Amino acid sequence: MVKTIAVLGAGTMGHGVAHAAMAAGYETRIYDVSQTQLNIAVGQVMSILKKSVELGRLSEDDCNATFDRLKATTSLAEAVAKADVIIEAAPEKVDLKVALLAAIDASAPAESVIASNTSALSITELAAVLKDPGRVGGMHFFNPVHKMKLVEVVRALETTDETVSVMQDVAHRMGKETVVVRESPGFITSRINAMIGNEAFYMLQEGIASARDIDKALKLGLNHPMGPFELVDLVGLDTRLSILQHLHRTLGEKFRPCPLLEQYVKGGRLGRKSGKGVYDYSSTRTSARR
């Protein structure tokens, strides 16, 4: 039975996954290489809990009890030592994730399940560094985790039925719906989303319409809840670019990253997390740059 969950990486996704784990009643460990990032993540988790109290969805006592289930650490060994399930939410870089999984293999219980939150990388490739790749699969959460209902559960080449079942059970206990996907680049959602988002950047680059109007068209004309630029600013332009580069390598020319997206990333315009992406978040009023 799963009692303890370790979340590796305390960024945009990691803090949200940690919150979902704590709220589901799991003892939760969150690890990051950066103490500063851990402090930010703990603050973000607390503000999600406080919002739930304000909305009357959580009592003060339950808020405190939930928060007590979280421990933040910069020691990987400490984070995974007693973990039944380990959810990896480190940056979307294959070498970094491979090194992280190899380090987990050295310190985590041999029977723990390891789930990667990668948006598009090959989990089979990540799992290959472990002695037992059968215990590795994908749990692809969505941003912001506390609001989004879906988890894509990914079955890689060697993932066992038991691993799939543990990942589904954990997601369901977190209150999420699941779909099971056979591993392929970008699974279902990242593949479609990257295509739409990249095309929107090509349209912006070609001067077909402003960012605001492209977003407005998809929201009001196609009933998307967010425009592609609002969404990429939330996801992170660097994360989206990494996904596109991987899809371009694996699925071909139709996923070639738009040069304008590459230029924004080079310029440090990474989205909400850096204060500016397609839109500017440096003042309270957001404004389109193009």
Nearest-approach distance from CB 260 to ligand NAD, in angstroms: 20
148: left (phi over 0), alpha (psi -120 to 50) or beta: beta
136-140 and 113-116 beta bridge pairing: parallel
Q: Which is nearer to ligand NAD, 140 or 269 (CB)?
A: 140
Nearest-approach distance from CB 59 to ligand NAD, in angstroms: 30
Nearest-approach distance from CB 161 to ligand NAD, in angstroms: 24
Q: Which is nearer to ligand NAD, 58 or 79 (CB)?
A: 79
What's the CA gap between 167 and 47, in Å, rounded?
A: 27
Nearest-approach distance from CB 236 to ligand NAD, in angstroms: 5
Q: Which is nearer to ligand NAD, 74 or 205 (CB)?
A: 74
CA distances to 42, 66, 138, 261, 277 from 237, in Å? 24, 32, 22, 7, 7
Q: Which is nearer to ligand NAD, 26 or 142 (CB)?
A: 142
Q: Which is nearer to ligand NAD, 159 or 239 (CB)?
A: 239
Q: Which is nearer to ligand NAD, 29 or 58 (CB)?
A: 29
CA dihedral 217, 220, 225, 228 (to 10 degrees): 0
Residue nearest to ligand NAD (CB): 11
Is 132 in contact with 110 (CB distance < 8 Å)?
yes
What's the CA gap between 13 and 52, in Å, rounded?
A: 19
Q: Nearest-CA neighbor of 114 among 124, 125, 103, 101?
A: 101
70-73 and 85-88 beta bridge pairing: unpaired
The neighbouring-strand residues paired with 28 are 5, 70
What's the CA gap between 26 and 18, in Å, rounded?
A: 9
Nearest-approach distance from CB 129 to ligand NAD, in angstroms: 14
Nearest-approach distance from CB 74 to ligand NAD, in angstroms: 9
The residue type at 78: E
Is 23 in contact with 15 (CB distance < 8 Å)?
no
What's the CA gap between 112 and 81, in Å, rounded?
A: 10
Nearest-approach distance from CB 11 to ligand NAD, in angstroms: 2
Q: Which is nearer to ligand NAD, 90 or 204 (CB)?
A: 90
Nearest-approach distance from CB 43 to ligand NAD, in angstroms: 13
Under the rule (CB under 6 A), what is the footprint of ligand NAD? Answer: 8-14, 32-34, 37, 89-92, 96, 100, 117-119, 140-143, 235-236, 239
Q: Which is nearer to ligand NAD, 38 or 203 (CB)?
A: 38
